[in-house]
């Protein structure tokens, strides 16, 4: 490939929002725990204590900066957070796992948000997450009241 030809970006194989990812230290095999695509809260703004964003890429070439951004779709894709890691792809056939952990994200309103995955400045894909407002049950006793 000549210097004038642009190197193609990696291919996005999967993108998952979950509670956590456990990575086996020996086999490097990921376990996705608690996958979800929606967050429910009784009112907004709402703070989500912890989530992980897992994605797999292949067809990478050389050193690649991979960035995940969370954007607010209802606010003209206003960026809420961003995290970048750099990885060297040795072989285009390898499947690389990326785990991004986020704590204490404040969602200002219910509605649609998106995690966007970039290689350098090129967007590889998106994963939607919906925040919805839910009414809490009323009139019943909570566990503490029942157990007293």
* Domain assignment of residue 127, yes or no: yes
Strand pairing category for 62-72 and 78-89: antiparallel
Q: Report DSSP letters for 112-134, one per residue.
A: EEEEEEEETTEEEEEEEEEEEE-
* Domain assignment of residue 47, yes or no: yes
Q: 105: domain range?
A: 11-134
CATH code of the domain in which 108 resides: 2.60.40.10
* Domain assignment of residue 96, yes or no: yes
Polymer length in residues for the chain: 148
List, for the chain, all residue ranges whose pLDDT scores fall below the cut of 70. Answer: 1-5, 139-148
* Domain assignment of residue 139, yes or no: no
* Domain assignment of residue 19, yes or no: yes
> What are the pLDDT digits (tens) for 57-84?
999 999 999 999 999 999 998 999 999 9
Give CA–CA dist 73/77, Å, rounded.
5
> pTM for this one?
0.85
* Domain assignment of residue 4, yes or no: no
Distances 119 to 60, 61, 140 between C-alpha atoms, Å: 9, 11, 50
- Residue 121's pLDDT is 94
Segments in the chain forming alpha helices (H): 143-147
């Amino acid at each position: 490939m000549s210097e004038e030809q642009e190197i193609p970006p990696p291919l996005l194989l999967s993108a998952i929002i979950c509670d956590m990812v456990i990575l086996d230290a020996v086999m490097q095999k990921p376990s996705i725990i608690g996958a979800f695509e929606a967050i429910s809260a009784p009112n907004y703004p709402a703070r989500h204590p912890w989530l992980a964003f897992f994605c797999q890429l292949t067809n990478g070439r050389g050193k690649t900066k991979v960035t995940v951004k969370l954007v607010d779709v209802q606010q003209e894709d206003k960026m809420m957070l961003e995290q970048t890691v750099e990885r060297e792809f040795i072989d285009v056939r390898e499947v690389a796992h990326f785990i991004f952990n986020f704590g204490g994200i404040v969602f200002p309103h219910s509605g649609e948000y998106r995690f966007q995955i970039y290689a350098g400045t090129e967007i590889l894909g998106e994963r939607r997450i919906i925040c919805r407002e839910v009414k809490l049950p009323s009139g019943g006793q909570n566990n503490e009241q029942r157990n007293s």
